[in-house]
């Protein structure tokens, strides 16, 4: 045990752990070993004497009143197990050991680990390895949870039968599920994949699993932040984003600086900035709209390139619910508002978190009241909640 401190320091360095965590793991392993080899009903504690480079293991005995019922061995704990009277010592007996001891203090009896038998070393090693592994996993979980929403690069190491793509990311493996790939993408071993960290979980079968995604709106936002300095410097902010991966996306932009054009900053000269992001997303069209804190204005802008007549908020969504809005639109703008295959209105609904209902009016008579127009046609957005859930 003479080199125990050097060994602990070496383990901490190799595993990338704090020395305090390694020492805590060893102390817990010592206590568990003592309970296994001596008596699980006794109370033990352990310490590490760095000055003398040695381990300390001892039994803790609490000082109690002379007539304490726990001394009888008939008392039960909160789990209705019999309390071991050897965990306690009377005040009178304690005074014989140390006159300064009071009720509630503890008397420590040193134990020699070497006297616990051959199996003790094996049990200690297994307990210590288990505790270290838990600390390593906790550190990795904390490290990669801080990366959620950020872009990572990794090499493909395997593609399973379900077409889940496994990517090497530093000391862990990332998993890119089939549903999180852009339509038409196929990866093979050795390919370099760029994606955003979506979630970090510990699975009983696979251990630490870092799920990554190329379909999440966060991936779009992170790619734009790499290309647009104003986003990285937070002079321009992305207030909301929505995607139908591989087809089209919408982002709502805002700024507090009057001299900055948020849309122009993101698009770049001749569209070079947004073009680079679109290329990474396999030609996905990206629409930029200026955010407004006024819901009616925001909805009208989200439905661009269509020109909207009026927007009426029918219901303000509470927490977990979506708002509902009726949008009056000239007949010649209807197709633009809906978009090809309904993409435009679906994205506008996802971007504004609003169920949008279109009410068409004749473009030649925009002043006609919708209520008086017997031939007014209605268009409603399909439920986009399930669609959004796929690409969060």
Residue 285 shares a structural domain with residue 392: no
The whole-number pLDDT of residue 374 equals 34
Band (227; pLDDT cuts 50, 70, 90): very high
Is residue 285 included in any domain, yes or no? yes
Q: Which of 81-85, 217-221, 366-370, 384-388 has the lowest mean pLDDT?
A: 366-370
| Nearest alpha-carbon partner for 22 in 4, 40, 36 | 4
Residues 386, 299 share a domain: yes
Q: Helices 118-145 and 4-15 sit at what angle, rounded to 10 degrees?
A: 30
Q: Of 124, 143, 162, at which residue does a domain stop?
A: 143
Contacts of 268 (CB under 8 A, 6+ apart): 227, 228, 274, 275
Residues 139, 197 share a domain: no
Do both 305 and 282 map to the same domain?
A: no
Token duo for residue 308: 């909207």
Phi-psi region of 322 (alpha: psi -120 to 50; beta: other; left: phi over 0): beta
Which of 291, 313, 330 finishes a domain? 291
Q: Kindly tell me if the per-residue pLDDT of 116 is higher than 90.
A: no
Give the CATH number for residue 392: 3.30.300.20
In a domain, 149, yes or no: no
Do 269 and 298 lie in a common domain? no
- Give backbone dihedrals phi and psi of 218, rounded to 5 degrees, phi first: -65, -30
What residues does 193 pair with on adjacent strands?
A: 154
Band (229; pLDDT cuts 50, 70, 90): very high
pTM equals: 0.70
List the one residue out of 52, 33, 19, 25 whose CA is nearest residue 132: 25
Cis peptide before 305 (omega within 30 of 0): yes
Task: State the residue for tokens 């503890």.
Answer: 106
Q: Please state, in angstroms and rounded to a whole number, the distance separating the CA atoms of residues 151 and 319.
A: 29
Domain boundary among 164, 193, 213: 213
> Are 302 and 390 in the same domain?
yes
Q: What digits encode the pLDDT tens for the residues 70-98? A: 887 777 666 566 677 888 888 888 888 88
Contact between residue 254 and residue 262 where contact means Cβ atoms under 8 Å apart: yes
pLDDT at 236: 95
The number of folded domains in the chain is 4
- Domain assignment of residue 355, given as a range: 293-392
- The answer to whether the beta carbons of residues 134 and 127 sit under 8 Å apart is no
Q: What single DSSP character describes residue 207?
A: E
- Per-residue model confidence (pLDDT) at position 365: 46
**Segment 160-178 mean pLDDT:** 90
- What pLDDT is stored for residue 322 in this prediction? 86
Question: CA-to-CA distance for 254 and 238, rounded, in angstroms?
Answer: 7
Over residues 135-159, the mean pLDDT reads: 89
139 shares a domain with 47: yes
pLDDT score of 67 more than 90:
no
Structure tokens that stand for 133 in this block: 């592994």
Indicate the SS3 state at residue 12.
helix
- Model confidence over 173-225: pLDDT tens digits? 899 999 999 988 999 999 999 999 999 987 776 678 899 999 999 999 999 99
**DSSP-assigned letter for residue 148:** B
- Residues 307, 377: one domain? yes
Q: Are 273 and 206 within one domain? A: no
CATH number of 65's domain:
3.30.1480.10
Q: Are residues 233 and 262 in the same domain?
A: yes
CATH number at residue 169: 2.40.50.140
Residue 119 has a pLDDT of: 86
Task: Give yes or no: residues 338 and 375 share one domain.
Answer: yes
Instruction: Place 388 in a pLDDT band, splitting at 50, 70 and 90.
Output: low
- What confidence score (pLDDT) does residue 386 get? 53
Q: Write out the H or E segment, with its range, that includes residue 30.
A: helix 19-37
Paired tokens of 105: 């203090």
Cβ of 20: how many Cβ atoms within 10 Å? 9
In 3-state terms, what secondary structure has residue 85?
Answer: helix
Average pLDDT (232-261) is: 93
- Between the alpha carbon of residue 174 and those of residues 168, 261, 282, 283, the distances in Å are 6, 37, 22, 25
Helix (H, G, I), strand (E, B) or coil at 203: strand
Rounded Cα–Cα distance for residues 99 and 103 (Å): 12
Residue 132 sits in the same domain as residue 23: yes
Q: Which residues pair with 22 in a beta bridge?
A: none
4-18, 69-83, 369-383: least confidently modelled range: 369-383
């Amino acid at each position: 045990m003479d080199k125990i401190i050097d060994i602990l320091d070496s383990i901490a360095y190799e595993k990338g752990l704090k020395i305090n965590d390694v020492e805590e793991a060893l102390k817990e392993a010592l206590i568990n070993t003592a309970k296994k080899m001596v008596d699980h009903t006794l109370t033990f504690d352990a310490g590490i004497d760095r000055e003398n480079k040695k381990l300390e293991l001892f039994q803790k005995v609490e000082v109690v009143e002379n007539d304490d019922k726990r001394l009888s061995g008939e008392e039960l704990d909160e789990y209705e197990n019999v309390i071991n009277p050897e965990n306690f010592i009377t005040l009178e007996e304690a005074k014989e050991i140390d006159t300064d001891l009071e009720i509630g203090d503890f008397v420590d009896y040193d134990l020699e680990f070497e006297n616990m038998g051959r199996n003790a070393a094996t049990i200690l090693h297994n307990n210590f390895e288990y505790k270290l592994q838990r600390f390593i996993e906790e550190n990795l979980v904390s490290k990669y949870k801080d990366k959620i929403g950020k872009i990572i690069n990794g090499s493909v190491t395997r593609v399973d039968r379900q077409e889940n793509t496994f990517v090497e990311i530093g000391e862990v493996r990332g998993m890119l599920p089939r549903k999180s790939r852009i339509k038409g993408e196929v990866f093979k071993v050795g390919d370099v994949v760029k994606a955003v960290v979506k979630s970090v979980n510990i699975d009983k079968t696979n251990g630490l699993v870092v799920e990554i995604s190329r379909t999440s709106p966060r991936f779009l936002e992170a790619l734009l932040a790499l290309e647009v300095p104003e986003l990285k410097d937070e002079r321009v902010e992305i207030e909301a984003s929505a995607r139908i991966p591989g087809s089209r996306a919408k982002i709502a932009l805002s700024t507090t600086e009057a001299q900055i054009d948020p849309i122009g900053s993101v698009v770049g000269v001749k569209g070079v900035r947004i073009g680079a992001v679109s290329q990474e997303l396999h030609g996905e069209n990206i629409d930029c709209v200026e955010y407004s804190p006024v819901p009616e204005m925001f909805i009208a802008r989200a439905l661009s390139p269509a020109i909207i007549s009026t927007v009426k908020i029918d219901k303000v969504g509470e927490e977990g619910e979506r708002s509902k809005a009726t949008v009056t639109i000239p007949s010649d703008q209807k197709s633009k508002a809906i978009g090809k295959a309904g993409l435009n209105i679906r994205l506008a609904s996802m971007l504004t978190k609003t169920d949008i209902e279109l009410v068409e009016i004749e473009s030649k008579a925009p002043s006609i009241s919708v209520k008086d127009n017997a031939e007014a046609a209605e268009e409603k957005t399909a439920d986009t909640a399930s669609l959004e859930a796929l690409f969060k």
